[in-house]
Amino acid sequence: KAGVTQTPRYLIKTRGQQVTLSCSPISGHRSVSWYQQTPGQGLQFLFEYFSETQRNKGNFPGRFSGRQFSNSRSEMNVSTLELGDSALYLCASSLRLTSGGQETQYFGPGTRLLVL
């Protein structure tokens, strides 16, 4: 079974631009979560999408948004980029059983975003 894939792997943008990152979950997984990883703040939860709906949201400004498609693939968008948005953006997928039991979250390799 193929793992979580993220594209692109590396990205360089300038301040004020916007960026869209893509995540393809493991086949059959319905939940996609996004995390930001920086040396200073560590791993921080951005949001989770399940059945094309945002289910959970972290403490990030509205410049960070996402969506999920009917095939469970997800995109996240960051508008008006700031220098502090430079980070590794990780996507994780899980089965998301409706019973609420925890399913393992499988992480992709991440997209390394550098904002100049």
What residue ranges bind another protein (CB under 8 A)? 4, 31, 33, 35, 42-45, 48, 50, 55-56, 58, 90, 92, 94, 96, 100-110
Residue-wise over 14-30: b if at least 16 C-beta within 10 A, else e? eeeeebebebbbbeebb
Q: Of the two residues 16 and 75, which places its CB atom closer to another protein in the complex?
A: 75
The number of helix segments (H) and strand segments (E) in the chain equals: 0, 11
Provide the minimum distance between the beta carbon of 40 and another protein in the complex, in angstroms, as a whole number: 10
**3-state class (DSSP) for residue 5:** strand
Closer to another protein at the Cβ: 64 or 96? 96
End-to-end alpha carbon distance in the chain: 37
Residue closer to another protein, measured from CB, 56 or 80: 56
How is residue 9 written in tokens? 């792997």
Q: How far is the CB of 116 from another protein (least distance, A)?
A: 21
Rounded least distance, CB 67 to another protein, Å: 17
